[in-house]
């Protein structure tokens, strides 16, 4: 038997950063995101010997251990080990060997939620193997606890829920880890138009999101008014985006994105930089009506809304910056697992 799973990456469209503590605990956060046809994959294959083999195929990393109930966290493949340790702690895996292999369709640090989505996919493979009775909220919350609390990796809460639920969702975040996922019923032709006009551009740079997120959190703790007000405005941006999509006012989306881009840069130092500002201005000059930095910022993917037929001119304008465009489609499914 082989137990497989895949979970989709997401594009954040509005509200990014308001799902990070302590802001969402004090004020409540709101985010609108959509999953796309880029995935994190996990496969578990039982082995005849009592050996645990961990492989990150995309990063060409591998570790082997004699079977043990808890694997050491040493900075190598810790996401894989963290999920194994928690599943072992809660559900007592049989003392038999297995190989866990993973692959992600986008680079780490690219801003599409790769780490959290990978954790969800690994959980999904174990859920499939052990036939665990876990629902979407259970899996997403488990992924959040493993990544944010047990592995102490800085970040927000949206990615785990986007990967698990899938589709276009308006999410609300509150104190005590309370999350409400509101799936949006957007007419297909509105979504097709958004997909047609929204370019996904990889800057060919990655970033360590933890440092940016720590600055953002510290700004809230220190009650820095500009940063907190920017987060309030981004929460309002999520409402604006929701209304534009549901009402089919798709050509307002660029302006909503541009509003968010200006606010996000005020949240913390390092969210944008000279290169990203230059890319953004070149895209706007070529016809984009707005865009955003994906994830915490500082590098990774950027998205641009290109109304009418301006996307071809925008594509040409971006070609000089050394990055590349990534094809995608919006998808309505989340975590999927199966056995062969």
Tens of pLDDT along 267-295? 766 666 788 889 999 999 999 999 998 86
Topology of domain 3-185, CATH? Ribosomal Protein S5; domain 2 (3.30.230)
Which pLDDT score is estimated for 54? Answer: 98
Q: How confident is the model at residue 218 (pLDDT cuts 50, 70, 90)?
A: confident
- The chain-wide mean pLDDT, for the chain, equals 92
Q: Is the pLDDT of residue 106 over 60?
A: yes
Which pLDDT score is estimated for 207? Answer: 54
Which pLDDT score is estimated for 163? Answer: 98
Q: How confident is the model at residue 120 (pLDDT cuts 50, 70, 90)?
A: very high
Q: Which residue has the higher pLDDT, 271 or 303?
A: 303
Residue in the structure block whose two tokens are 């957007």? 186
Task: Encode pLDDT of 248-262 as tens digits.
Answer: 999 899 999 999 988
Which pLDDT score is estimated for 271? Answer: 65
Show me where the domains of the chain are located: 3-185, 188-325
Task: Encode pLDDT of 123-146 as tens digits.
Answer: 999 999 999 999 999 999 999 999
The DSSP bridge partners found for residue 339 are: 3
Cβ-in-10-Å burial (0-12, 13-18, 19+) of 112 comes to: buried
Q: Is the pLDDT of residue 160 over 80?
A: yes
Residue 159 is among the residues annotated as catalytic for this protein = yes
Mean pLDDT on 186-190: 96
Task: Say which of 19, 105, 159, 258 is annotated catalytic.
Answer: 159
Cβ-in-10-Å burial (0-12, 13-18, 19+) of 103 comes to: middle
Which pLDDT score is estimated for 155? Answer: 86
Task: Encode pLDDT of 36-75 as tens digits.
Answer: 999 999 999 999 999 999 999 999 999 999 999 999 999 9
Count of beta carbons in the 10 Å neighbourhood of residue 67: 15
List of residues 6+ apart from 218 with CB closer than 8 A: none
Is 188-325 assigned to CATH 3.40.50.300? no
Rounded-to-integer distance, Cα 201 and Cα 314, Å: 11
Q: How confident is the model at residue 194 (pLDDT cuts 50, 70, 90)?
A: very high
Which pLDDT score is estimated for 296? Answer: 54
Model pTM? 0.93
C-alpha distances out from residue 297 to 94, 125, 177, 187, 223, Å = 41, 30, 24, 30, 21
C-alpha of 50 from chain center: 34
Rounded-to-integer distance, Cα 291 and Cα 278, Å: 13
Which pLDDT score is estimated for 298? Answer: 62
Rounded-to-integer distance, Cα 290 and Cα 105, Å: 26
Count of beta carbons in the 10 Å neighbourhood of residue 261: 23
Which pLDDT score is estimated for 265? Answer: 79
Q: Which residue has the higher pLDDT, 92 or 218?
A: 92
Which pLDDT score is estimated for 249? Answer: 95
67: left (phi over 0), alpha (psi -120 to 50) or beta: beta
């Amino acid at each position: 038997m082989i137990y497989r799973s895949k979970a989709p990456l997401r594009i954040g469209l509005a509200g990014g950063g308001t799902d990070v503590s302590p802001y969402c605990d004090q004020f409540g956060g709101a985010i609108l995101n959509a999953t796309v046809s880029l995935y994190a994959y996990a496969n578990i294959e039982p082995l005849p010997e009592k050996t645990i083999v961990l492989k990150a195929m995309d990063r060409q990393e591998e570790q082997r251990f004699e079977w043990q109930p808890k694997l050491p966290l040493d900075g190598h493949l810790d996401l894989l080990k963290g999920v194994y340790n928690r599943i072992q702690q809660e559900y007592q895996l049989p003392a038999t060997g297995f190989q866990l292999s993973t692959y992600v369709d986008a680079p780490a640090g690219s801003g599409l939620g790769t780490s959290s989505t990978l954790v969800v996919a690994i959980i999904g493979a174990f859920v499939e193997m052990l036939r665990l009775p876990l629902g979407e909220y259970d899996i997403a919350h488990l992924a959040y606890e493993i990544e944010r609390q047990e592995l102490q990796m800085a970040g927000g809460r949206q990615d785990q829920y986007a990967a698990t639920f899938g589709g276009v969702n308006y999410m609300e975040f509150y104190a005590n880890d309370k999350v409400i996922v509101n799936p949006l019923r957007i007419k297909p032709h509105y979504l097709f138009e958004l997909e047609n006009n929204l370019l996904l551009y990889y800057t060919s740079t990655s970033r360590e999101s933890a440092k940016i997120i720590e600055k953002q959190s510290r700004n809230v703790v220190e009650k820095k008014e500009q940063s907190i007000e920017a987060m309030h405005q981004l929460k309002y941006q999520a409402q604006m985006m929701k209304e534009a999509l549901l009402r089919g006012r798709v050509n307002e989306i660029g302006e909503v994105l541009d509003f968010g881009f200006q606010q996000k840069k005020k949240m913390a130092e390092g969210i944008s930089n000279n290169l990203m500002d230059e890319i953004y201005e070149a895209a706007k000059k070529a016809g984009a009506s707005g865009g955003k930095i994906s994830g915490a910022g500082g590098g990774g993917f950027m998205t641009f809304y290109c109304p009418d037929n301006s996307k071809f001119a925008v594509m040409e304008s971006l070609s000089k910056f050394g990055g590349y465009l990534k094809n995608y489609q919006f998808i309505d499914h989340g975590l999927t697992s199966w056995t062969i």
